[in-house]
Copies of this chain bind each other. A is one copy, B any other.
Amino acid sequence: MAPHKLCMIPGPIEFHEDVLAAMSTPATSHVDPNFVPIFGESIEMVRKVVLSEKAQPFIVSGSCTLGWDMMVNLLEQGDEVLALNTGYFVYGAKITTLRADVGSRPSNDALKQALSEKKYKMVTVTHVDTSTGVLSDIKAIAQTVKSVSPETLVIVDGVCSVGSEEIRFDEWQLDIVISGSQKGLGVPPGLSVVVASPQAIEVYKSRTTPIISYYSNWNKWLPIMEAYESRKPAYFATPAVQLIYALHASLKAITSQPMEVRFEKHREVSSKFRQTIRDLGLKTVAQCEECSANGMTAVWLPEGIEIPQLVPALAAKGVQIAGGILNGLAGKYFRIGHMGISVTEPERHHIDKVVETLTDSLKELGYKA
């Protein structure tokens, strides 16, 4: 691999050599008999990553954000949406937002209360908030939603969690998980990856008003996914052949061992990383262990050290970390990603290098633990 700064931000993450090699697959037709099974198997492996037997994956050229656009397939004018974090929607839906303090998450009681007041078409929740590293308990949330209002769909923003956090799509009764290629799935950015439950597909199929989107329209994409999964080519738009070869390479590695091993490895490394942060006398933005993400950590800056000092100090030592992105607090904390091969292949010493360069940089900037 070409020499480069270690990319230890909460995505894009470091890519395996095999994944990068797949990115430069020579020109291949999107209906080539060699490519068709690559796409088909990728669809199947996405299902495995979220531990589902029956969910429908969609793999479409676009960024993670496109996944939110696809929710247009489930929404009709006037539908009520309960957003446990930030709501993204247009498309005529009415949004109610349940907020929590920075670093914590809305309580289960607040959720129950909200659900009892109105009939919601969907509840949206961000599994890992990339801006703070807070992990939601999507299992408990889905349980609450489905016990109070079984028809309500549970929509999970899994952008920063698929591939790094435990997700049991079927068992937890999730309806949608939205993600993309460049985080826990370990593939360069450019693919939107969305997984839909049979219940969500049913809601989409039984809608009575037309879907007001062209590119995000499942009427276009569902037949394509079904075709490739049954190893037939089909055409709506040219798939990102090289990115799908890369996704295939990464998913093959990811699914070569039980997902539980991968979840556990991310838990172990992140827990150790948070301990290191505490040992340095620093505080994470997430306020408790169980609400801390396992694929990334946001850390408050110590007094007197600023982002424009710390980030370049690490960059000069060959490690890229990220600043904060929370409105009004962006300059107060930094973020580090620990996902994928940086975690599953400790022999690469990515995390060691982050800890070492962070420690040295803080010291250089005059910080005393």
- Chain A interface residues toward B at CB < 8 A: 1-2, 4-5, 7, 9, 11-15, 20-21, 23-30, 32, 61-66, 68-69, 72, 88-92, 180, 182, 188-192, 210-217, 235-243, 320, 322, 325
Contacts of A63 in B (CB 8 A): 61, 215, 237-240
Q: A89-B214, A90-B212 are in contact. Are A242 and B27 (CB under 8 A)?
A: no
User: 6 A-B residue contacts at CB 8 Å?
Assistant: A13-B27, A61-B66, A61-B189, A62-B62, A62-B66, A90-B214
Instruction: Write out the residue numbers on chain B whose beta carbons fall within 8 Å of the beta carbon of A238.
Output: 11-12, 63-64, 180, 182, 189
Q: How many angstroms between the C-alpha atoms of A20 and B24 in the bound complex?
A: 5
Q: How far is the CA of A237 from the CA of B190 in the complex (A)?
A: 10
**Shortest distance between the CB of A207 and any CB in chain B (Å):** 14
List the 10 closest A-B pairs by CB distance, nearest first.
A190-B240, A63-B237, A7-B27, A69-B215, A65-B237, A20-B24, A188-B242, A4-B26, A23-B23, A189-B238
Q: Is the CB of B189 within 8 A of A30?
A: yes
Residues in B whose Cβ lies below 8 Å from that of A61: 61-63, 66, 189-190, 192
What is the CA–CA distance of A66 and B236 in the complex, to the nearest angstrom?
11
Beta-carbon contact of B241 and A188 below 8 Å: yes
Shortest beta-carbon distance from A257 to chain B in Å: 22
Excluding A20-B25, A21-B24, A61-B61, 18 further A-B contacts by CB distance (< 8 Å) are A2-B25, A4-B26, A5-B28, A5-B32, A7-B29, A9-B29, A14-B26, A23-B24, A23-B242, A27-B188, A61-B192, A65-B215, A65-B237, A69-B216, A182-B238, A188-B240, A189-B240, A190-B240
Q: B90 touching A210 by the CB < 8 A rule?
A: yes
Report chain B residues within 8 Å CB of A26.
1-2, 4, 7, 14-15, 20
What's the least CB distance linking A155 to chain B, in Å?
A: 14
Cβ B27 vs Cβ A214 within 8 A = no
CB distance from A341 to the nearest CB of B (A): 10
Residues of chain B within 8 A (CB-CB) of A325 are 235
A61 to B214 Cα, complex, angstroms: 16
Known A215-B215, A215-B216; judge A65-B240 contact (CB<8 A): no
Q: Considering the chains assembled together, what is the distance between the CA atoms of A28 and B11 in angstroms? A: 9
A188 to B241, CA, bound (A): 7
Cα distance A182–B27 in the bound complex, in angstroms? 9
